[in-house]
Amino acid sequence: MPSALFGLLSALSWGTGDFAGGLASRKVGPYRAVMFAEGIGLFAIIGIVPFFPEAFPDLRSVLWSIAGGMVGTIGLLAFFEAMRRGRLSVVAPLSALLGAVVPVMMGGFMDGLPQPSVFGGVALALVAIVLISREKAPEDEKEKAPYLHIPILAGIAFGLYFVLMHEAGRDFFWGPLIIARTSGMLSIAAYLFMKARGDFSIPSGSWHLLALNGIFDVGGNAFYLLASQAGRMDVSAVLGSLYPGMTVFLAWLILKEKLQPPQWLGILLALVAIVLLTR
C-alpha cells in the first residue's frame, strides 16, 4: 500500500507539473522551461534537506543519479518539443506507454513476474493511459511533418529514467534527487550557452508557471523514488505513468477543454487498475 500510494502521488504531481510546464514552454520554449523548472525544483529540495539529513551517496549512486538526471532531461525536452509539434492525443499516450513498458520489462527480469492481479492491473493501466490521453483531432488540421520519433524518444528516456533512479535510490533519497536535477539543469545550461548565445531571458508572466512546474515535477520524482523503495519498480513506474490523467483533468477544469467518451472510459479503467495494483 505505501508503494501504491506514493506511485499515485507521483502521477498526480507529475501530471500537474506537466500541465504547468506545457503552458510555460509555449511562452519561453522547451529548453528554458525545463532548465528553470529544474533549477526551481533543485532549490526546493535543498531547502528541505537540512530537516532530513542523510549521508552523502556513494560513487555508485552518484553515477546512477547523473545518468538518470541527463536521461530524464532528454525525455522532458523531447516531450515538450513533441507537444509543440503535434497533438496531446498522440504525444502523451505514446511517451507514457513506453515510459511504463521499459521498467515493466526490466522489472520482470530483476524482480520476477508480478502476481496475476498486479499483472492485470498493469495491462488495464496501459490501456487507460491511451484512452485518457485521446483527444478529437480538429477537422481542419492539416498534414504535419512526421514527429513520432520525438515522443518515442521521450518515452524511452522516461522509462530509462525510472530504472536508473530506482538503482540510484536503493540506499539514498535526497542525494540522488539533488544530483539528478543538477546534472540535468547544467546540461541544458551548457547547451543554451553554446548554441543559443547564453540567452536565458524569461518573459514576464511566466515565472509562476515555471515555479509550479519545478515544484510539482520534483515532487513527482520524490514520490516515485519513495514508491520504488517501498515496492516493485515496475508497479511504481506504471502508476506514475498515469500522469496524463491529471494533465487532462486540469485541462478540463481550468482550460474548460471537453473530455471525450473514451477519456471517461480511460478514467474508469484507471480506477479499476489502481484497485488491482494496490491489493
pLDDT per residue over 102-159, tens digit each?
887 787 777 666 677 777 877 887 788 777 766 555 554 444 556 778 888 998 999 9
What pLDDT sits at residue 197? 62
* Length of the chain as a residue count: 279
Cβ atoms of 177 and 45 within 8 Å: the answer is yes
What pLDDT sits at residue 2? 80
| 192's grid cell | 543554451
At what angle are helices 2-28 and 30-48 packed, to 10 degrees?
Answer: 140
| 135's grid cell | 483527444
Report the C-alpha gap between 216 and 211 in whole angstroms. 8
Q: Encode pLDDT of 37-48 as tens digits.
A: 889 999 999 999
Report the C-alpha gap between 239 and 47 in whole angstroms. 28
Q: What is the chain's alpha carbon radius of gyration, rounded to the nearest angstrom?
A: 18
Place of cell 484497485: 275
What pLDDT sits at residue 9? 94
In the chain, the percentage of residues whose pLDDT exceeds 90 is: 28
| pTM across the whole model | 0.83
> Which range (27-41, 75-89, 226-240) has the least confidence?
75-89
Report the C-alpha gap between 216 and 39 in whole angstroms. 13
